[in-house]
Amino acid sequence: MTERGDILTESCDAVLIGAGINTLVAAAHLSARGWSVRVLERGAEPGGAVRTGAYTIPGFRHDWAAMNLSLFAGSGFFRAYSADLTRLGLSFVPAPHAFASVFADGSWCGVSADPAVTRARIAALSPADAATWDRLLADFPAMAPHLFALLSSPMKFRALSRIGWGLWRAKGVGGTLDLVRFLLSSPRRWLSETFTDPRLHAMLGAWGMHLDFAPDISGGAVFPYLESMATQSFGMVIGKGGADTVTRALVAFIEERGGKVDCNAEVAGIATEGGTARGVTLADGRRITARRAVIAGLSPSGLARLTGATGEERFDRGLADFDHAPGTMMIHLALSAPLDWTAGAELQQFAYVHLAPDLEQMARTYQQARAGLLPGRPVIVVGQPTALDPSRAPDGKHTLWLQVRMAPGTIRGDAGGTITATDWAQAAEPFAERALSILEAAAPGTRAKVLGRRIVTPLDLQEDNPNLVGGDQICGSHHLAQHFLFRPMRGHADGSTPVKNLYLTGAAVWPGAGTGAGAGWLLAQSLTR
């Protein structure tokens, strides 16, 4: 630490901007390899979207955005450091009943950890589809290594060539082309080719909506497939006491190795010299120099704000043109009792229940939100964490986690024809009531059980975390033109930038959104090789 005039200057090997899960994972691995690291977070607490707090009334712990930690539990980073993270307090709770959907005819179907239970439910809808489920599940161990290798690989031609060669040797030309066709398919195309019952299409297709893949968007088939097969094969987990069990363990891991995680530390600019990133300047005037790397856990527009023009026109244009998905509204509820699902009391046991009865509704909802309209019937994702982890609420009470998908960041109108407001300050309450009415229809008496609630609009999400532009919780569309080699743009899927020693990480970088922290893990491994 040195003084330059009246400006305090500090130094370390790597400065990381933002304390989201990707930057924390990168900082943890770098610190484990002997780097001195400094993580700077503008907010009052670390974690980004992976946070937990009493957002309604004291005693009720709600996950701010992310709830499902299965990707983290299955990540390469967790495999490498699971003993340390567990020692530092990380704890998961398995979901015996993972996800379900309620349909317009009052029936439901869901995936539980016991394959026989899941199969029986599917067979009740369609015996033929139950046989197809058996086949997919039997084939998954042979398919999974190729998909996981691709989805966890650096987007480098050498790595892709190695994966392609292995795939060709295992499956031949025909099998390889079949997999490529599958990766290019829309959810509707794959679901309609694979299953016969529209209710099964809806149950699995709802997962595409989590990653900006409406039923007819090319490239989205892989997500319903992986969510269903991986959940059935490996299970689903949430965090004991809250998703922030991951964040707290990562911060402790970093600090145990001499690193620092500073909150209320807003970065005002990235300092460069001779085409090389040298450090950052904070809003309070402090300067922190970085001997080896500046890592920005930011949206592309956030990186542009801190760097200005990099000098490479294509890169700067790519940052400006980066496309964001529609936003999400979160509704946190503290309840006096569990939901009374009309479709069946067994639904009380599920981690997630989707209120998205058919693919047609999902497609309309997506197009309306894309057009800037409040959807007439949004997709509702109902998270029931206290069904798995009662520690999140007082005895006998429950927390409810609602994602309202999709919701435009900028409102141009209302597809339902009843909300006249076009600013979220006025539209939040009536749009939340629309969502709660959908829930009330599926679980009568819900409103009477509400002890406290918190509505978080897309703009509230952005204000809390500027990476969630317009409330986009996945920090950028995953459509094919902005995925794989093109996330965030061609030539920079590894997080590199035209500025030496400056790197971008986070959900905007390959492999994209989710709690697996793939971008941070891949980058940190690359920097320490």
Judged against a pLDDT cut of 90, whether residue 156 lies above it is answered with no
**3-class SS string, 24-62:** HHHHHHHHHCCCCEEEECCCCCCCCCCCEECCCCCCCCE
Domain boundary among 207, 235, 263: 235
Q: In terms of pTM, does the model score above 0.85?
A: yes
Within a domain: residue 159? yes
For residues 481 and 454, membership in a common domain is answered with no
Q: Is 496 a domain residue?
A: yes
Tens digit of each residue's pLDDT (9 = 90 or more) over 275-288: 999 999 999 999 99
Q: Across the chain, which distance is largest between two alpha carbons, in Å?
A: 77
Mean pLDDT of 317-335: 97
- Final residue of a domain: which of 173, 207, 235? 235
Task: For residue 470, give every residue at least 6 positions away whose Cβ sits within 8 Å of its Cβ, in sequence order, or none.
Answer: 324, 326, 327, 408, 409, 410, 458, 459, 462
Domain-embedded: residue 469 = no
The 10s digit of each residue's pLDDT in 163-173 is 888 888 888 99
Give percent of the chain above pLDDT 70. Answer: 98
Q: How many CB atoms lie within 10 A of CB 300?
A: 28
**Final residue in a domain of this structure, among 443, 464, 485:** 464
Question: Read out DSSP for 264-289?
Answer: S--EEEEEEETTEEEEEEETTS-EEE
Shared-domain flag, residues 20 and 57: yes
- Is there a single domain that holds both residue 319 and residue 334? no
Which of 7-11, 63-67, 134-138, 494-498 has the least mean pLDDT?
A: 7-11
Average pLDDT, the chain: 96
Whether residue 101 contacts residue 203, with contact meaning beta carbons closer than 8 Å, is answered with yes
- pLDDT attached to residue 7: 54
In terms of residue numbers, what domain contains 311?
Answer: 2-92+242-323+476-528
More confident: 159 or 103: 103
- 406-417 pLDDT, tens digit per residue, is 999 999 999 999
Q: Is residue 284 part of a domain?
A: yes
The pLDDT confidence band at residue 1, using thresholds 50, 70 and 90, is very low
CATH of the domain at 317: 3.50.50.60
Can you read off the two tokens belonging to residue 12? 């370390």
Residues 69 and 121 in one domain: no
Q: Is pLDDT of 16 > 80? A: yes
More confident residue, 186 or 149: 186
> What mean pLDDT comes out for the span 17-32?
98
- Are 394 and 453 in a shared domain? yes
Whether 264 and 213 share a structural domain: no
Is residue 470, in this structure, part of any structural domain at all? no
Residue 107 within a domain: yes
pLDDT in tens, 455-474: 999 999 999 999 999 999 99
- Same domain as 501, residue 444: no
Does 32 share its domain with 74? yes
Count of domains observed in the chain: 3
The token pair at 388 is 């798995």
Task: Tell whether 313 and 340 lie within a shared domain.
Answer: no
Greater confidence (155 vs 217) lies with: 217
Residue 175, pLDDT > 90, answer no
**Per-residue pLDDT tens digits for 48-91:** 999 999 999 999 999 999 999 999 999 999 999 999 999 999 99
pLDDT band at 526 (very low <50, low <70, confident <90, very high): very high
3-state secondary structure of 75: coil
Residue 157 is predicted with a pLDDT of 79
Domain contains 130: yes
Pair of tokens at residue 328: 């999400």
Does 471 fall in a domain? no
Instruction: Give mean pLDDT, residues 127-151.
Output: 95
Which residues lie below 8 Å from residue 405, measured CB to CB, with a gap of 6+?
A: 209, 210, 326, 328, 365, 369, 378, 379, 380, 381
What's the rounded Cα separation, in Å, for the pair 192 and 245?
A: 39
Contacts of 290 (CB under 8 A, 6+ apart): 11, 12, 13, 14, 15, 277, 278, 279, 280, 501
**Is the same domain home to 459 and 356?**
yes
For the chain, percent of residues with pLDDT exceeding 90 = 92
Asked if residue 215 and residue 179 are part of one domain, the reply reads yes
Instruction: State the pLDDT confidence band at 6, using cuts at 50, 70 and 90.
Output: very low
Instruction: Please give the Cα distance from 17 to 21 (Å, whole number).
Output: 12
Q: Sorting pLDDT into bands at 50, 70 and 90, what band is 5?
A: very low
Q: Is 262 a residue whose pLDDT tops 80? A: yes
What is the predicted pLDDT for the residue at 169?
86
175 and 283, same domain (yes or no): no
